[in-house]
Structure 1
Amino acid sequence: MESAVSSAPPVGRVAVLGLGSMGLGMARSIARAGLDVVGFDPMSAAAEAFAAEGGRTAAGAREAATGACIVLCVVVNAAQTEALLFGPEGVAEAMAPDAVFVSCATMDPDIARRLAAKLEATGRHYLDAPMSGGPVRAAEGALTVMASGGSAAFARGRPVLDAIAAKVYELGEAPGQGAAFKMINQLLAGVHIAAACEAIAFAARQGLDLDRVYEVITASAGSSWMFENRVPHVLDGDYAPKSAVEIFVKDLGIVQDMARTARFPVPLSAAALQMFLAASGSGMGSADDASLARVYAALSGASLPEAKTAKSSA
């Protein structure tokens, strides 16, 4: 969908707040598009990774955002987003007077609406723009962005959206709509991950050849994108976090809160949340979300593949 504004204002400096697994790839994509970008992350290693490639970094979020025309916020949750905007070192008043704040965190739509109203009262613009695609697509500039906001917010944010995304869905003028779409995605993603892990662990309990299971299922009707993407982690015994368990503890928790408010039953996502909680409670919160397979294995006595490095060193 094309923006309602035919001519965007000139692009000034872009600040990327958060250079983690997603933000670093997004900052790289923005720099590759020829935009003037400066990054900040409280973890020095993340900032150093961007700086090592010739990227500019700032010592703090406020320094990065001062005078910026576009501030891209790539943090974990609503609390971090609010702190970056309105905390003691908040960037809301440091941004250029007509700047746009592009919020990528997954959050409750009501919170997105509240943050947008508070920022827009200062004369700046808020683009509710959660994304999907993972670190690989972030690095490729090929994310899917589910965005909502006013026409001016889209016009000002367009250069960055074009740099980071293969698909940008404009989902309405009201901030919060993008967040709501993302929560539907997260409901499905969480359930699909839990189902994929349940299936592969059940196959292991049956004594099946798991590589063969993967081959057959990915060519059959029972497959899903999450099965295709996450089960290889289990087959490799590799639970280094591409997407951590705690992300879905948070996101499926938001789904439950939204559903309770709406008096809408969500029993499948509730069951999936319990498995993510079990994984987190077992000490796997920072591990890859495919770790749910390890929870099923522990409960059933199923044997899953060991890490290849462990096999080779044995």
Structure 2
Amino acid sequence: MDKTNAAVIGLGSMGFGMAVSLARKGFDVAGTDVNAEAVQRFAAHGRAARSIAEAATGAAILVVVVVNAAQTRTVLFGPEGAANALPKGAVVISSATMSPKDAEALAAEAEARGLLYLDAPISGGAQRAAEGALTVLASGSDAAFAKAQPALDAMAQKLYKLGDKPGIGAAFKMVNQLLAGVHIAAACEAITFAKRLGLDIGKVYEVITAAAGNSWMFENRVPHILEGDYSPKSAVDIFTKDLGIVLDMSRDTKFPTPIAGQAFQMFMMTAAAGMGRDDDASVARLYAQIAGLDLPSSIKSNG
């Protein structure tokens, strides 16, 4: 196929893999990030852009993989934003985790400027991003899906088309994040409880992952604790943000989410203890500090 111009704004652990996946599938990809080292590393795979506007110029598809709605707004509509550089009819694939209200507002502003907007939060982690095997929870107009489809095919193994209005994908993602945050907090509580009981926590991991109490998060995060490695695959601060959004939505809809609220407080306490930028399995370290327990040494933590 002729090379389609695409741009990726945000070359972090997820965005970098998504950009590489696009390049691998034949897209002419420009990438940029506030981290100059990430941009330089991407130069081996595509065009390293010095600014958002440079990356977006001429792009038919713009993928925005930043932290939250505020950053997405800056990327699109800030003084050096992409909206003024994109051609009319280009599609924005917005992959930051945000509230449905924020997704709806960003979509309305993009569409008012002649752009298509796909609300497309992602799940799967950095490895699946690099493999082009993400799960995408998307909603938007038929035209937005049609324009974005080649890029989605390159980046995703599973694409869920969840509705014709932006905001629906964001809502699905927040249900996922409620469960993800609760499961991480529960896994950290369980493994440190096992430590308090004097059990071999390596053996506990072996047993639980073969038993009904297992979860994807227990299986994925507990090895970080066993290895004493808290370098951030996914940081504590991500879940203070995401569970905070869940609680905001809970209040707005007058629906109680007490378990999510407890998990939110555990992440908040972990962040307050100086571990906000460390891996989210650091909740176990907070439990260990409270209980006076020794977990395997933290050899790669940021905190």
Query: TM-score, with normalisation over the residues of structure 1?
Result: 0.94
2:268 — aligned with what? 277
Aligned ranges for residues 75-154 of structure 1 at < 5 Å?
Answer: 75-154=66-145
Please state if 1:286 is matched with 2:252.
no
Which one of the candidate residues 191, 196, 213 is aligned to 2:187? 196
Aligned ranges for residues 1-314 of structure 1 at < 5 Å?
Answer: 12-51=4-43, 53-307=44-298
Q: Is the 8 A contact 2:267 2:283 kept in 1?
A: yes
| C-alpha distance in structure 1 between counterparts of 2:274 and 2:25, whole Å | 40
Q: Which amino acid aligns with 1:43?
A: N
| C-alpha distance in structure 1 between counterparts of 2:4 and 2:181, whole Å | 38
Show structure 2 runs of 5+ residues with no match.
none
Shift of 1:94: 1.1
Identify which range, 84-93 or 242-251, moves more after superposition.
84-93
CA shift digits 1:76-133 (9 cap, x unpaired): 0000000111111111121111100000000010010011011101111000000000
Q: Is the 8 A contact 1:11 1:69 kept in 2?
A: no
Q: Is the 8 A contact 1:202 1:302 kept in 2?
A: no
The DSSP-based 3-state class of the residue aligned with 2:164 is: coil
Q: Is the 8 A contact 1:17 1:41 kept in 2?
A: yes
| C-alpha distance in structure 2 between counterparts of 1:206 and 1:245, whole Å | 26
1:6 — aligned with what? none
| C-alpha distance in structure 2 between counterparts of 1:123 and 1:254, whole Å | 29
| C-alpha distance in structure 2 between counterparts of 1:279 and 1:46, whole Å | 28
The DSSP-based 3-state class of the residue aligned with 1:306 is: coil
* Aligned residues: CA RMSD: 1.4
Q: Which amino acid aligns with 1:289?
A: D
CA shift digits 1:213-271 (9 cap, x unpaired): 00000000000000000000000000000000000000000000000000000000000
Q: Is the 8 A contact 2:20 2:45 kept in 1?
A: no
| C-alpha distance in structure 1 between counterparts of 2:248 and 2:299, whole Å | 40
Shift of 1:55: 2.1
Cα 1:266/1:194, change in 2 over 3 Å: same
The DSSP-based 3-state class of the residue aligned with 2:13 is: coil
Shift of 1:11: 6.5
Shift of 1:309: 8.2
1:7 — aligned with what? none
Q: Which amino acid aligns with 2:245?
A: I
| C-alpha distance in structure 2 between counterparts of 1:196 and 1:307, whole Å | 18
| C-alpha distance in structure 2 between counterparts of 1:239 and 1:279, whole Å | 13
| C-alpha distance in structure 1 between counterparts of 2:76 and 2:37, whole Å | 23
Q: Identity, % of aligned pairs?
A: 62
The DSSP-based 3-state class of the residue aligned with 2:166 is: coil
Query: TM-score, with normalisation over the residues of structure 2?
Result: 0.97
Shift of 1:307: 4.1
1:3 — aligned with what? none
Show structure 1 runs of 5+ residues with no match.
1-9
Q: Is the 8 A contact 1:205 1:303 kept in 2?
A: no
| C-alpha distance in structure 1 between counterparts of 2:76 and 2:96, whole Å | 13
